[in-house]
Structure formats: C-alpha cells, structure tokens
Amino acid sequence: MKRNILVIPGDGIGPEVTTWGKAVLEEIAKGFGHDFSYDEALMGHAAIEVTGNPLPDETLEKAQKSDAILFGAVGHAKYDNDPSLKVRPEQGLLKIRKELGLYANLRPILLFDELLNASSIKANILKGTDILFFRELTGDVYFGEKTRSEDKNTASDLMIYHRYEVERIAHKAFEAAMKRRKKLCSVDKANVLESSRLWRETVQNIAKQYPEVETTHMFIDNAAMQLIKDPKQFDVVLTANLFGDILTDEASQIAGSMGMLASASVGESTGFFEPIHGSAHDITGKNLANPLASILSVSLMLEIGFGLLEEAKVIIDAVDQVLKEGYRTGDIADETTKSDQILGTKEMGQLVL
C-alpha cells in the first residue's frame, strides 16, 4: 500500500528535529519494504515570509491529500511580545486542525527507564509508565457560549457536549486500547456535571462493543491524584477537552523533558503527528534540540496512523537502546551523564538511525 506523507518542518527547531524524524521514517520504509512517498510544505512564520499566509492554500491542499503529516513547530520570537502583528504563525496550526477535522488529541506518556534515577522512591512509582491519553478537541467549555453580565461582575462558560462527539472519540480510544493492554479509563465529573453524565453514559454504551477491554470510570479529581500516586495503573485514558488539557500537562512531567514527548491529532481522514514542544527560539540553529520527540512522533504515526505496530516498536527500541548506552542530549542529561556522551541534535539523530 502506498502512503503519502507530508512533512511540515515549520519554524525554530522544527526543521532541525523533523529532519531526523523523516530520516528514521525513510529507514523504516527501507527496512520493512514499505512504499512511502514524501512531500514538504510551509507553515507558520516560514510561510508568512514567503506567502503572507501562515497556512498557504497549497499546504492545505497537500495536507488534505496526504495519509499522514509529520509536523515540527511554528513560532518566531518577533511575535512573542507584539500583539499588533495580526497575522501569526500559530493561526496556521489552529486552521489546519479545523480544516482536517482533527477531533482527538493523543498524547502518549512513555517513560524510558534509563531516564530514572533508579535509587529514588519516585523511580519505583514511575518505572514502566506507559499511558496513552485521548483528549477530545472540539467541544466542552472552549466552544460553548460565553457570557458576561452588563455590570461585568458575573461570567459564564457553557460546558457542552453532543453524543456524537463523545462517540467518535470513544471509538478511537477503544480501538487503540484493543492494540495495547486492553484497559481504558474514562475520566469525567459525572457526580456533578450533566455533560459528564452524558459522557459516561455514552462511553458505557460504546464499551459494550469492545467487551475485551476492561473499562473503568474515574472522577477527574481522583484521576489527577492517581496519576501521581500510581501512574502504572493506566493504559488508555479517555477524557474531555478541559480535563484532558490539565491532565496531559500534569502527565507530561512523568516523562521528564518536553524533548521526549510526541503527540498525534486524528479525525476522519489524515493524522497529524508532532512533538509537544514548540519552536524554542533560544536553542534554534545551535544543534542543541533533542530530536527524540520528533522521532517518537514518527513511531506514533506508524502505530496510530498506519497500524504498523512492529515498525513503531522498532523505533521505541532504538531510542531505548541509545539511552541505555548512556547517550543524552542536553535537556535529558544529568550529573551521571559522561561529558563525551552529551550529544547534539545531529549526533543523537544519527545514533538512533
């Protein structure tokens, strides 16, 4: 089967890290005999400079035709403290998500044992953590009606969900759970919120179609605590937009650096795969960026986007091996790292390759 992959390197460290994600993808295609074709497109500041538009029509057309997108980051220092600039890099990202109908945001929290200090208590709790979050992206208080009273002293945000929104993301999450450890925890606040009662009822109904999956429900406050207390109990976690926003940021700290975390946004057709970090202007062009988040985004593309589980695992194992051998980029190095094993972007990318 031929698969078209669109690479959007974007701005800042985006191009530096995406180079290595793509190189790993090419190596996998070669090794396993897959027919992948590649195209490239502009987005963000890089696109504004050339076309005046953070998401040029050409990029959107290529994206719509692709089977998967590997994205880097968008952003540039000049926009940070200047709200007068009306055309902004991040508009490209928001628009492409909307145009592609990406309603589910997936964030795996994968902790490499080698990045733990084995003697600390924390290490015992965290060791072996491997969670895949599904955060709903189109509903909730973000998109419900917002009001402010005339005297400005009262405000409200409507927390709203439609059954179809819960159903479609629940299916994605159950399908992923079937390919993992067959455990799914749905997180809500159904003791208090009506939208959460709809959420829970809908997830319970969908669960009947996946009898092999052990489904549990947890209130958000408890989930926030359990995540710190015993993260290993979770496999797939399914939750709404607001709860997912908070819970995935909390969970990201389990894995250590932002330079280690990948994410995927999926919907009806093509999937969008990217590191969770941004453009990081402070380290741009210095060969300091950790390319592992982009490389792990490619693993996620193979797993979630294409269902190529063995190929995805080969990448994880390669990263694991390099870490086991003691190699680190600056962001994940600590006092135990030998100075000649602290690598730049290129050296780390090459080693994984």
> What is the rounded distance in angstroms from the CA atom of residue 253 to the CA atom of residue 109?
9
Site size toward ligand ATP, by CB under 6 A: 17
Q: Smallest distance, Å, CB 278 to Mg ion?
A: 4
**Taking CB within 5 to 8 Å according to partner kind, which of ligand ATP, Mg ion, none is near residue 277?**
ligand ATP
> What is the rounded distance in angstroms from the CA atom of residue 276 to the CA atom of residue 291?
12
Window 75 to 94, contacts with ligand ATP (CB under 6 A): 75
Residue nearer to ligand ATP on the CB measure, 94 or 192: 94
- Residue 135 annotated as lining a ligand binding site: yes
Residue 245 annotated to the active site: yes
Q: Smallest distance, Å, CB 140 to Mg ion?
A: 22
Residue nearer to Mg ion on the CB measure, 9 or 278: 278
Residue 317 annotated to the active site: no
Q: Smallest distance, Å, CB 158 to Mg ion?
A: 28
Residue nearer to ligand ATP on the CB measure, 56 or 89: 89
Q: Smallest distance, Å, CB 227 to Mg ion?
A: 22
Contact between 19 and ligand ATP (CB under 6 A)? no
Residue 221 annotated to the active site: yes
Q: Smallest distance, Å, CB 82 to ligand ATP?
A: 13
Q: Which of 41, 42, 63, 73 binds ligand ATP (CB under 6 A)?
A: 73
- Residue 331 annotated as lining a ligand binding site: no
- Bridge partner residues of 214 (DSSP): 183
**Across the chain, which distance is largest between two alpha carbons, in Å?**
66
The answer to whether the beta carbons of residues 322 and 348 sit under 8 Å apart is yes
Residue nearer to ligand ATP on the CB measure, 215 or 297: 297
Rounded to whole angstroms, what are the CA distances from 219 to 68, 171, 210? 34, 20, 22
Q: Which of 61, 99, 167, 282 binds ligand ATP (CB under 6 A)?
A: 282
| Burial class (CB within 10 angstroms; exposed 0-12, middle 13-18, buried 19+) of 328 | buried
Rounded to whole angstroms, what are the CA distances from 26 to 7, 31, 41, 81? 12, 9, 18, 39
**Catalytic option among 22, 62, 172, 189:** 189
Window 276 to 295, contacts with Mg ion (CB under 5 A): 278
Contact between 186 and ligand ATP (CB under 6 A)? no
Contact between 283 and ligand ATP (CB under 6 A)? yes
Rounded to whole angstroms, what are the CA distances from 298 to 160, 301, 303, 345? 34, 5, 9, 16
- Residue 97 annotated as lining a ligand binding site: yes
Closest CA to 71 of 264, 293, 273: 273
- Residue 107 annotated as lining a ligand binding site: yes
Interface stretch with ligand ATP, choices 49-57, 208-216, 223-231, 287-295 (CB under 6 A): 287-295
Window 324 to 353, contacts with ligand ATP (CB under 6 A): 331
**Catalytic option among 230, 249, 282, 317:** 249
Closest CA to 103 of 283, 202, 238: 238
Q: Smallest distance, Å, CB 308 to ligand ATP?
A: 25
Interface stretch with ligand ATP, choices 137-145, 193-201, 209-217, 286-294 (CB under 6 A): 286-294
Active site residues: 142, 189, 221, 245, 249
Residues of this chain that interact with ligand ATP (CB under 6 A) are: 13, 17, 73, 75, 258-259, 277-283, 289-290, 293, 331
Annotated binding residues for Mg(2+), written as ranges, equal 221, 245, 249
Q: Where does this chain bind Mg ion (CB under 5 A)?
A: 278
Q: Which residues participate in the annotated binding site for substrate?
A: 97, 107, 135, 221
